[in-house]
Structure 1
Amino acid sequence: MIVHVLSLIVITFVYAMLVLLVIRFSDVEKMEAFKTLLLAFVFGFAAAIVAASIESLIAFLGVAVTSIFMVIIVAPIAEEYAKLYMSTSRYFIEEMDEPEDALIYAACVALGFAFIENVLYIVTFSLELSYVQLVDLTIQRMFLCIPIHIAATSIGITVYIYLREIYDYNHIEALVLAVASAAPLHAAYNLMAITGSLTMASIIVILSIVAITFAWLMLRSMKPTYKLPLPHHKNLY
Structure 2
Amino acid sequence: MKEKIPTLAASRARASLHAPAWTKQSAYSWRTFLFTALAMGGLVGFGVLMMIINANSGGTNLLVPFLLALVPLCLVLLVVRWIDYQDPEPMGVLVAAFLWGAGVATLVSLMVNNSSTIAVAEMTKSKAAGGTFATLVSAPLIEEFTKALGLVLIYLLWRKIVNGPVDGVVYATVIAGGFAFAENILYFARYSDQLAQIFLLRGVASPFAHVIFTACTGMALGFGIHMRGRWSWLGMTLLGYLCAVVLHFSWNLLSGPNWWFYMLVSAPIFVLMGLLVSYLKRREQRDYATNLMDYAAGGWYTSAEVAMLTTNTGRRQGTAWARSHGPQARKAMLDFQRDSMELAEIRGRFLAGEGDSEDRERQLKLLQEVSAKRQVFLGLDNA
Is this a same-fold pair by TM over 0.5?
Answer: yes
Of 120, 137, 146, the match for 2:186: 120
* Alignment-mate amino acid for residue 13 of structure 1: L
Q: Distance in 2 between matches of 1:110 and 1:198?
A: 22
TM-score, normalization by structure 2: 0.51
- Residue from 202, 221, 225 that aligns with 1:160: 221
Confirm or deny that 1:68 pairs with 2:132: yes
Residue correspondences, number: 225
> Bigger relative contact order, structure 1 or 2, given CA contacts below 8 A and separation 6+?
1
Aligned to 1:52, the other structure's residue is in SS state helix
Offset at 1:48?
Answer: 1.1
* Residue aligning to 2:111: 53
Deviation at 1:142, TM superposition (A): 1.2
3-state SS, counterpart of residue 97 of structure 1: coil
- Quote the offset at 1:150 in angstroms: 0.3
Partner SS state of residue 28, structure 1: coil
Equivalent runs, 1:81-100 vs 2, <5 Å: 81-89=145-153, 90-91=156-157, 93-100=159-166
- Structure number, greater radius of gyration: 2
Segments of 5+ residues of structure 2 without an aligned counterpart are 1-58, 292-344, 356-383
The one-letter amino acid of 1:118's match is N
Query: Which of 167, 189, 194 is 1:101 aligned to?
Result: 167
Coordinate RMSD, CA, aligned: 3.2
| Partner residue, 1:147 | 208
3-state SS in 2 of match to 1:31: coil
Task: Report the CA distance between 1:2 and its aligned residue.
Answer: 5.2
Does the aligned pair in 2 maintain the 1:8–1:138 contact within 8 Å? no
2:71 is the counterpart of 1:9: no
Deviation at 1:34, TM superposition (A): 3.7
Say if 2:248 is the partner of 1:190. Answer: no
TM-score w.r.t. structure 1 length? 0.78
How far apart, in 2, do the equivalents of 1:19 and 1:189 lie? 19
Q: What do residues 27-55 of structure 1 show as CA deviations (whole Å, max 9, x unaligned)?
A: 23112244432332111021112222332
For the 8 Å contact 1:85–1:175, the answer to whether it is kept is no
Please tell me whether the aligned partners of residues 25 and 31 of structure 1 are also in contact (alpha carbons under 8 angstroms). no
1:191 partner amino acid = L
Task: Tell me which amino acid in the other structure corresponds to 1:212.
Answer: M
Query: Counterpart amino acid of 1:50?
Result: V
Question: In the aligned structure 2, how far is the partner of 1:150 from the partner of 1:37?
Answer: 15
Consecutive aligned runs of 4 or more in structure 1 exceeding 4 Å deviation: 217-227
Tell me, in whole angstroms, the C-alpha distance in 1 between the residues paired with 2:186 and 2:109: 14
Counterpart CA distance in 1 for 2:171 and 2:245 is 18
Percent identical residues: 22
